[in-house]
Amino acid sequence: MDRVSKLENLRILVVGCGSIGSRHISNLKSFFPGPVEACDLDTERLSFINEKYGAKVYTDLREALEQKFDAVIISTPPSSHIPIALTSIEHDTHLFIEKPLSNTLDGIKELLEKGKKSDKVIFVGYNFRFHPGIRLVKDKVDSGEIGKILSATAEFGQYLPDWRPWQDYRKSYTAGKNLGGGIILDGSHEIDYIRWFLGEVKEVTCFAAKISSLDVETEDVAKILLKFKSGAIAGIHLDFVQRGYTRTCKLIGEEGTIEWSFLGQSVKVYSKDARKWQTLNINVELNDMYINEMKHFIRCIRGEEKPMINGEEGRKTLEVALAAKKSAITGKLVKL
């Protein structure tokens, strides 16, 4: 499948060296023995990456791709993901594309077809699937511990200027409509892991708007209601206006309830038999899920594992997010 088989022979290019791109470079340097190089239009950013990590840098993507990389990690604003991915896969590379896959469905079918035809991995970076709390919830759902899932609730919120305090939030892609920003796309982790738990979505309705005084072009609060093919109903709250940080999930089954708290580092389970809550503490370092995600990707491109979130999975999550945005604009329920 690959033109190389040994880990130390792999060459990886990171395209986009903002906060998440820099994190990926730092993490790769901590365990990956092969060359990790970087491409960005921002020469100051590249100078920092070169000085801190000793990475070879490029400002021109096509010039970089001529160096024959095995994998490209795309961590640019969502609106540029698909054009970069199409160019990269034409140069015979595997792809790690940060979430969301894009801000539209344009070009995705072509990308997935090219990936299948060339037998290349297309992986979408929904890193919360690698969080031990979320994985524990998934295991309990799959084991049937709380029976058939009837309803779910997920919430994420944090004040946007606190996300990346070193950056003017108004210059972030999250604040820009044309770059693929907005809380629905940037907060689509919750859509992705709820899909992972409950299966495919059938109908979507949503209220979302720019409500706060933040200087952004996008929706900053969203309430999404999902109906699944299984019959389950889920509600997702997303915002980048609340002070502090919250990230929680609750699943209600016929035989019990599960609650996950990111800040509480715990999973709580209530079963019909025990008739009381059991708390399972989860000690986790935030960066571990990013490292585990990247190690999984490398095992995938070596043919040792199948991608947990492939391009098709990323497309399905994006379809739900875009349906929520459409519902908020039209005021109508959207069927998938």
> Both 36 and 169 in a single domain?
no
Q: What is the pLDDT of residue 165?
A: 86
> Both 244 and 99 in a single domain?
no
Q: Is residue 183 part of a domain?
A: yes
Q: Is residue 60 part of a domain?
A: yes
Coil, strand, or helix at residue 92?
coil
Backbone region of residue 265 per phi and psi (left: phi > 0; alpha: psi in -120 to 50; beta: other values): left
Q: CA torsion sign, 237 to 239 to 245 to 247?
A: positive
CA distances 144 to 131, 197, 277, Å, are 20, 12, 17
Q: H helices within 91-228, ranges in order? A: 108-118, 132-143, 183-186, 189-198
> Both 107 and 145 in a single domain?
no
> Both 71 and 133 in a single domain?
no
Q: Is residue 292 part of a domain?
A: no
**H/E stretch holding 85:** helix 81-89
> Both 165 and 109 in a single domain?
no
> Both 326 and 258 in a single domain?
yes
> Both 198 and 51 in a single domain?
no
Residue where a domain stops, chosen among 85, 120, 155? 120
> Both 70 and 166 in a single domain?
no
Q: Is residue 310 part of a domain?
A: no
Residue where a domain stops, chosen among 120, 138, 154? 120
Q: Which residue range forms the structural domain that includes residue 279?
A: 128-285+317-335
Tokens 């060459």: give the residue: 11
Coil, strand, or helix at residue 200?
coil
CATH number assigned to the domain comprising residue 148: 3.30.360.10
> Both 116 and 132 in a single domain?
no
CATH number assigned to the domain comprising residue 97: 3.40.50.720
> Both 207 and 186 in a single domain?
yes
Tally of domains in the chain:
2
Q: Find the Cα–Cα–Cα–Cα dihedral 332, 102, 122, 89, rounded to 10°.
A: 140
Q: Which two tokens stand for residue 250?
A: 């609750």
Q: Is residue 306 part of a domain?
A: no
Tokens 């690959």: give the residue: 2
Q: What is the pLDDT of residue 8?
A: 59
Cα separation of 102 and 120, whole Å?
Answer: 19
Q: What is the pLDDT of residue 6?
A: 53
Cα separation of 259 and 282, whole Å?
Answer: 13
- Cβ distance 88 to 111 under 8 Å? no
Q: Is residue 265 part of a domain?
A: yes
Coil, strand, or helix at residue 87?
helix
Residue where a domain stops, chosen among 70, 101, 120? 120
Q: Is residue 1 part of a domain?
A: no
Cα separation of 218 and 210, whole Å?
Answer: 6
- Note the pTM of the prediction, 2 decimals: 0.95
> Both 165 and 276 in a single domain?
yes
Q: Which residues contact 193 (CB under 8 A, 6 or more apart)?
A: 126, 128, 129, 134, 138, 154, 249
Residue 100, preceding bond cis, omega within 30 degrees?
yes
Q: Is residue 308 part of a domain?
A: no
The pLDDT tens digits along the chain (336 residues) read 344 445 557 999 999 999 999 999 999 999 999 999 999 999 999 999 999 999 999 999 999 999 999 999 999 999 999 999 999 999 999 999 999 999 999 999 999 999 999 999 999 999 999 999 999 999 999 999 999 999 999 999 999 999 988 889 999 999 999 999 999 999 999 999 999 999 999 999 999 999 999 999 999 999 999 999 999 999 999 999 999 999 999 999 999 999 999 999 999 999 998 899 999 999 889 999 999 999 999 999 999 999 999 999 999 999 999 999 999 999 999 999
> Both 155 and 51 in a single domain?
no
